Structure 1
């Protein structure tokens, strides 16, 4: 994530700021300008959930991010309001970074995802919430914003990593897959690396939860869950390339340096060489792991990326980076069957 400047005094701002620590000016992030502005026209959710974005010109009150929220949890139950607010922070972060690659920008004519933020805890009792993506709707269980619940779930599922930011990236990757599947060349290249996404999804998940990942899954998949089905492999891989690119972008923005074979790009989101970018990110992850270990904390990036996984990461970076990608036509020069 970039660092920003106060529109009043020029002081440094972080993405989640709503006021300048130097001059106390109230500020709001303007996604169309990728900059902070004075908070004269702040989102109406500023007081309720701490939204620090500016109001969307197409809306009388809400910002571009909050306009995508169609369902909120039962706010009469504590602490659903606070958990919803935390989930929205993660959503704004992911939307701002994906916009660097041209996704979900304000004013875009393309369909936008709709977010349903739900909680199992309601005034009528406990209800089951299944997180996922279907037909453009992303459902998020706000309980995952609770640190204790998320750690419990991570341990129960034997995961190395589990955050609300990760959930947002994973589910948005499913949404993006539906958009990319109509572009020439994508499906053919995808199936060559990830397998046939048309395989029975329900049966694949049932098999995964019954038997777990296949032996030796580490050679081909970034996480055990990625081995469940090509759709989940894509979502997990895409979430990881977003992790890695954002790590590099944030490190460069703050002036960090680390030992690496390649020169870190000035703008990680504008990088065209996915292989170099991934190597730079891996080296940054290794250096960062030393820092977290020095504090007695878990590794920041506890993953080993094999050549097969790196190929998938490079594929995801290529197709997600709309600013530099050129459509790849089939050999006939005609649009493929998915186009």
Structure 2
């Protein structure tokens, strides 16, 4: 994730900010520019306070065009700070227009749960936009377009009717209970996972969508099978075997997570999610000017200055060689605070080759 700056006062601002903490100007994310815009109130009263609601028109402090900008309709609920594309007729921003089912906002706590879901989903869309990936809406592709559902479990408490997070031909469902931190941590422990985050769910499930788009529909099935295995294996049987027996012995050499061992589809989606973890975290390191140079190491094998664009880099080696020293450093920082490792995974040569396949897919590079 990039760092942003308030164009009015040059104060640093962040992706989720709605106001500048220094000059109090309204902030809005412009998806077409991948940038945060500082805004002054427009309309009939230019002197109207900048801290007003996200309704009406707003004028960018710095812009080539002086046309007014408008916020996504979901800004009304304080769950979105994105601006509508200039000249567009949709009431929702590039990220929110893919919503189909949102939580019941009459229930206590659901607005905050939705807010957490949207923060994670908007970070996902930041990455998809940075990578310039195709993402057709359901209107553009009625049978395979991307759509998001955030349903709650039935009120009767029937465990067999609980909502399952997953993907089905472009429809991504994230169970609302995943936005409850205590509930999500309970599930993480019960399932023996290293981490369980909303952003991780979004990145994983969209990986299934892009398997459809970039592998199946693009004629890359055989190339993908050569790396991830035969996806024609019965998925239901594979899932049942995984939950009964767990991952196979020695799985850490070939799979980025235990769940990735379930089926080639899950291996692809888990690897896809980790690729997005890696490039986005590296971009954050670049934005902060991070450098790793451990003085105790006699050679420069762990010395890295992060000064490249991970999203735009065509050189996968540059990405993966930067990732190891960065994770060693941040894991050590976490341990110093008594926190678990930020990235408790090991990238073996086999896993790196799978990540490289994802890299070639997203950059439209030859797969052979």
TM-score (norm 2): 0.82
Question: Which residue of structure 1 lines up, in the alignment, with residue 186 of structure 2?
Answer: 152
Aligned to 2:152: 119
Alpha-carbon distance in structure 2 between the residues aligned to 1:326 and 1:318:
5
Match of 2:81 in 1: 52
1:275 deviates by 2.4
CA distance in 1, matches of 2:178, 2:216: 32
Provide the residue aligned with 2:315 in structure 1: 273
**Structure 2 CA distance for aligned equivalents of residues 102 and 262 of structure 1:** 27
1:135 aligns with 2:164: no
What's the counterpart of residue 28 of structure 2?
28
- Coordinate RMSD, CA, aligned: 2.2
For residues 196 and 235 of structure 1, do their structure 2 counterparts lie closer, same or farther at Cα, with a shift above 3 Å needed?
Answer: same
Q: Which residue of 2 aligns with 1:222?
A: 256
Q: Please give the per-residue CA displacement for 1:134-154, whole angstroms capped at 9, x wherever unaligned.
A: 011000012112111111011
Deviation string 1:276-298 (CA, Å, 9 cap, x unpaired) is 31121121011000100110001
Query: Are 1:20 and 1:27, in contact at CA under 8 Å, matched by a contact in 2?
Result: yes
Distance 1:116 1:93 in 2: 17
Give 1:55 deviation, angstroms: 2.3
Q: Taking CA–CA contacts closer than 8 Å with sequence separation of 6 or more, which of the two structures ends up with the larger relative contact order?
A: 1
Where does the alignment leave 5 or more consecutive residues of structure 2 unmatched? 40-53, 59-69, 294-301
1:298-313 aligned at under 5 Å gives the runs: 298-313=340-355
Q: Secondary structure at the match of 1:303?
A: coil
Q: What's the counterpart of residue 297 of structure 2?
A: none
**Structure 2 CA distance, aligned partners of 1:50 and 1:257?**
34
Taking the aligned partners of 2:134 and 2:206, their CA distance within structure 1 comes to: 10
Contact 1:183 1:327 in 2 (8 A): no
Deviations 1:49-73 (A, max 9, x none): 4311112453442211111101012
In structure 1, distance between residues paired with 2:2 and 2:221: 33
Q: Structure 1: state its 5+ residue gaps.
A: 330-339
Counterparts of 1:11 and 1:119, CA distance in 2: 39
CA distance in 2, matches of 1:61, 1:184: 32
1:238-264 C-alpha deviation (Å, 9 max, x unpaired): 101111111111011011111335553
* Residues paired across the two proteins, number: 324
> Does the 8 Å contact 1:184/1:327 carry over to 2?
no
Deviation at 1:202, TM superposition (A): 1.0
Determine if contact 1:249/1:268 at 8 Å carries over to the other structure.
Answer: yes
Counterpart residue number, 2:64: none
